[in-house]
Amino acid sequence: MSAVLLTDETKLRLMRESDIAAVVGIETRSYDFPWSDAIFSDCLRVGYCCWVVEQGASVCGYGIMSVAAQESHILNICIAPEARRLGAARMLMLNLLELAANHHARISFLEVRPSNSAAIRLYESLGFRRVGTRKGYYPAKSGREDALVMSTPLDDVDRISVRLNVLA
């Protein structure tokens, strides 16, 4: 797949069981300690918000989010290496935040590796702020890596909609 800035062929849709092989392929190319196909299947089975980014007929990214008790938790978001820095992650994040607000979540949380500066910049540009640290949260080649805990309020749905309209 050649990298092309978001086009009419780029779309978001609900993840299907048949997408899991492509999703695991992206996950495996992106992380030293990837989620398994069983984890993605379980996310679908329990009803998490599971979305994919499609460029043409190819899945080039995905996002998984849980929503409960007026909180959302973005559990995993990843864009294929060849499709990064083209706006797909922003589009996917904004979709997840809008879905969370529509499910009456008042706040959204996520964890991110401190070493993932590109993701941190994206999250901060979307209104996320650092609220804590989880010590030794992630496996790493040299032991464990902390996670930054970030959150953003979702009580202003209009604010999220304005951000979505910027993409349109």
Could you list the active site residues?
111, 123
CA distances (Å), origin 71, targets 37, 139, 156: 26, 26, 14
Residues 6+ apart with CB under 8 A from 7: 55
For every residue of 83-128, DSSP letters joined together read: GTTSSHHHHHHHHHHHHHHHTT-SEEEEEE-TT-HHHHHHHHHTT-
Residue 162: its H or E element: helix 157-167
Whole-angstrom distance, CA of residue 123 vs CA of residue 118:
9
Going 9 to 77 to 30 to 25, the CA torsion angle's sign is negative
Is residue 76 within 8 A of residue 30, CB to CB? The reply is: no
